[in-house]
Amino acid sequence: MSIKARATGALLAAILSTTAFHGAFAADDTIKVGILHSLSGTMAISETTLKDAMLMLIDEQNKKGGLLGKKLEAVVVDPASDWPLFAEKARELVSVNKVSAVFGCWTSVSRKSVLPVFEELNSILFYPVQYEGEESQRNVFYTGAAPNQQAIPAVDYLAENEGVERWVLAGTDYVYPRTTNKILEAYLISKGVKPEDIMINYTPFGHSDWQTIVSDIKKFGSAGKKTAVVSTINGDANVPFYKELGNQGVKAEDIPVVAFSVGEEELAGLDTTPLVGHLAAWNYFQSVDNPSNAEFIKTWKAFTKNEKRVTNDPMEAHYIGFNMWLKAVEKAGTTDTDAVLDAMIGVSVPNLSGGLSTMMPNHHITKPVLIGEIQADGQFETVWETPGLVVGDEWSDFLPDSKDLIADWRAPMSCGNFNVATGKCGGKGS
């Protein structure tokens, strides 16, 4: 090799070395945040908005100076409504992209899919959607509603305010609807409802032919007792379900439907005319009237450059979870997982419905519960709400295997399923 060639090679090596160094420095100068939401497939109707919401929250925080003097960097992946792919993408975010925390999942089956990954790699997941409970994992913070913060108050409302005596529990066929309905069935029977006054039905993801099922609901509701549908139908199957209700003339005054997975985003794709008067139970509605929510909506519309974009409950859950994470990281002075896990418990931040939400030792938060009635414009009018905030109950009092369990991730207990009857920890927390 000539002297010139050797010199050129040395120069090139020096340049590459310098570039690599600067690249590493640039990477170290940011804190990466993972976004794990389906942007395609059956759940994209609900999850794409949550990706956009996280991008907005990260952008807003960067305008305020970032976190610990560093810029936040969003890392977005698409698990495509494919439950095993959620685990693969979660591993990619933590192992390859080196994110400090992940905000994501919608369905419980997707969350269950990623739990072993977050436990193995000791990273943090913020889960923003109402779910069935029966779980408290060390590496997960649950910012959506547990059953006592949504499903049970909704049933109480229908029984006490609408005089409902017969119940249709209709859900998509996976863990969240099945476990929630198991809890609701036990709860209703404990309240004196007869088993023959409870009809349970499950349909697959993306189900589109609702004619027979809606006909069966009408028949079940014609027995002379006030009947309601409690819906845990998820994803794009809601569109044909509500259309068929309209086609068959099922009106809210006859058989009201209370939904746990239909919010403003889902209604934006529907003709709401036949749905006026039907209900949803959430912890937040866009129509909540207070200055902080007005500012959130204004920021959202400006960020999306679309005056028609709506907000919804899981977006607010990400808003709460993200702000809790920021506060915990600042409190800990680091993004180190163990330090942040300790710092998160007891953190309180404003929610958008009113008041402060607090992260409890069971990794669930305090939330108000709202029942909303669908309006012609696709918004909800709040018709009932709890007088204060409700603490999320991770283990149901109405299931025999759960009633003696509690979760407390503070030392010395540090347990997700401690049995108060036996005085023993059951293990991992689910």
What strands lie across the sheet with 227-232, from one edge to the other?
Answer: 198-203, 166-172, 227-232, 257-259, 279-282, 370-374, 380-385
CATH code (residue 247) = 3.40.50.2300
Instruction: Tell me what percent of the residues of the chain surpass a pLDDT of 90.
Output: 85
The answer to whether residues 140 and 186 belong to one domain is: no
Mean pLDDT along residues 46-60 = 97
Q: Does residue 247 form part of some domain?
A: yes
Summarize pLDDT for 78-93 with one digit per residue, the tens.
999 999 999 999 999 9
At residue 20, does pLDDT exceed 50?
Answer: no
Neighbours of 212 (CB within 10 A): 9
Q: Does residue 155 form part of some domain?
A: yes
The answer to whether residues 178 and 228 belong to one domain is: yes
Q: Does residue 404 form part of some domain?
A: no
- Which structure tokens are listed for 122? 């000791």
The answer to whether residues 374 and 283 belong to one domain is: yes
The answer to whether residues 131 and 206 belong to one domain is: no
Instruction: Tell me what percent of the residues of the chain surpass a pLDDT of 70.
Output: 93
Confidence of residue 428 (pLDDT cuts 50, 70, 90): low
Summarize pLDDT for 347-384 with one digit per residue, the tens.
999 999 989 999 999 999 999 999 999 999 999 999 99
Quote the pLDDT of residue 329: 98
Q: What are phi and psi of 126, to 5 degrees?
A: -105, 120
Summarize pLDDT for 384-426 with one digit per residue, the tens.
999 999 999 999 999 999 999 999 999 999 999 999 999 999 9
Summarize pLDDT for 277-315 with one digit per residue, the tens.
999 999 999 999 999 999 999 999 999 999 999 999 999
At residue 114, does pLDDT exceed 70?
Answer: yes
The answer to whether residues 126 and 177 belong to one domain is: no
Q: Does residue 213 form part of some domain?
A: yes
At residue 51, does pLDDT exceed 70?
Answer: yes
At residue 25, does pLDDT exceed 90?
Answer: no
The count of domains in the chain is 2
Neighbours of 351 (CB within 10 A): 26
Q: How far apart are CA 425 and CA 415, in angstroms?
A: 6
The answer to whether residues 128 and 161 belong to one domain is: no
CB 112 within 8 A of CB 69: no
- The rounded mean pLDDT for the chain is 92
Confidence of residue 335 (pLDDT cuts 50, 70, 90): very high
Q: Does residue 423 form part of some domain?
A: no
Quote the pLDDT of residue 19: 34
The answer to whether residues 108 and 178 belong to one domain is: no
- Which structure tokens are listed for 311? 């907000």
The answer to whether residues 126 and 39 belong to one domain is: yes
Confidence of residue 429 (pLDDT cuts 50, 70, 90): low
Residues in a beta bridge with 390? 367
The answer to whether residues 238 and 375 belong to one domain is: yes
Q: How far apart are CA 400 and CA 100, in angstroms?
A: 38
The answer to whether residues 136 and 205 belong to one domain is: no
Quote the pLDDT of residue 15: 34
User: What is the maximum alpha-carbon separation in the chain?
Assistant: 99
The answer to whether residues 157 and 264 belong to one domain is: yes
At residue 226, does pLDDT exceed 90?
Answer: yes
- Which structure tokens are listed for 92? 């990619």
Mean pLDDT along residues 260-274 = 85
Boundaries of domain holding 77: 30-145+292-368
Higher per-residue confidence, 204 vs 273: 204
Quote the pLDDT of residue 271: 81
The answer to whether residues 235 and 104 belong to one domain is: no
Last residue of some domain: 345, 360, 385?
385
Q: Does residue 231 form part of some domain?
A: yes
Q: Does residue 430 form part of some domain?
A: no
Global confidence as pTM: 0.89
Q: Does residue 250 form part of some domain?
A: yes
Indicate the SS3 state at residue 303: helix
* Closest alpha carbon to 329 in 29, 28, 33: 33
Summarize pLDDT for 320-333 with one digit per residue, the tens.
999 999 999 999 99
